[in-house]
Structure 1
Amino acid sequence: MECLLAKDKQYAKLITHTNMSQYYRQYGINWDDEMFDNTWEHFDNYEIFDHQQRVGVVRFSRTGDVIYLRDLQIEALYQNKGLGQQVIRWAKGYAVTHGATSLNLRVFPSNPAIALYKREGFTQVGQVNKLMEMTCPIA
């Protein structure tokens, strides 16, 4: 697995919309293309590759000494094969490289990825709107 700077905003938008649509429906949220487009310029965007095959995206933002994992999207065919764990570990390294003290994320409470996040050291610290907020300290 490797993560390379993203060049294809349309791919990132499509995979994010596809993967998140069930949660948006469940929680009564409307997808907003314009909001995604606006964040593209302000986030650090990476494409995830497995054996030279593009399989997903991971996106970050930063506030002070906190790195926010904004999106971790893996194509359905490649899910549940350990890539998410590899990306989380890579994201922790990204946070260290950028001098962060913690890596934070928000996730829908019904998302099964919560189990992965907990295994990788994230704990719930609150709730923002309909999303669970989790943090992982970076040493």
Structure 2
Amino acid sequence: MRLELTPAKATHLAFARDLTRCAMLPYYSQYSLLWLEEAFNEAWHWREQWLINGDAALLGYCSLSQDRQALFIRELHLLPEYRRQGVGSWVLEELALWARQRRLPLLRLMVFRSNPARQLYRRHGFVEMGEDECFVRMQRTID
């Protein structure tokens, strides 16, 4: 499958929000957090939004921000039928290239403590930098 990241448009907001809510609601419930659609909608406008496409099919999306040190993966979600097929790994490596191109030394993210994606991130060079009752902060150094 040929994969690519393409800029998301305002018309993709509902897709991204629904995908995120479906993927994250079990964790929100587990940690007694409140899902706020308004907060997602507001963040949509100040983050970089990218669609994950494969062979002309929409597979998922990712949301990014950056500061002077790091490219920060705010969201990375795939439709269930495209999980465990290497797409997430491809996205992580592509974003590491982007961080390098932007001359940023770090790629960062936060993940729920109980999310099995932590293993995926570890396999791609992310190390755990700290945690609280809900989240683990992880980062990968960009060579």
TM-score range, shorter chain: over 0.9
2:30 maps to 26
- Report the Cα offset of residue 46 of structure 1: 0.2
Equivalent residue, structure 1, for 2:49 = 45
Matched, 1:75 2:87: no
1:114 aligns to 2:118 (yes or no):
yes
Aligned to 1:5: 7
The letter for the 2-side match of 1:110 is S
Following the alignment from structure 1 to structure 2, what is the Cα–Cα distance between the partners of residues 34 and 129?
Answer: 24
Q: Does 1:126 align with 2:130?
A: yes
Which piece of structure 1 moves more, 4-13 or 125-134?
Answer: 125-134
Q: 1:101 aligns with which of 95, 102, 105?
A: 105
Amino acid at match of 1:19: A
SS in 2 for 1:41: helix
Q: Give me the whole-angstrom Cα distance separating, in 2, the residues matched to 1:130 and 1:109.
A: 6
Query: Is 1:15–2:19 an aligned residue pair?
Result: yes
TM-score, normalising length: structure 1: 0.96
**Correspondence for 1:58 among 59, 62, 76:** 62
Residue 137, structure 1, aligned to residue 133, structure 2: no
Structure 1 residue ranges, 4+ long, deviating more than 3 angstroms after superposition: none
Report the TM-score when normalising by structure 2.
0.93
Question: How far did residue 130 of structure 1 move?
Answer: 1.6
Deviation at 1:50, TM superposition (A): 1.4
CA RMSD of superposed structures (Å): 1.0
Unaligned runs of 5+ in 1: none
Q: How far 1:38 sits from its partner (Å)?
A: 1.1
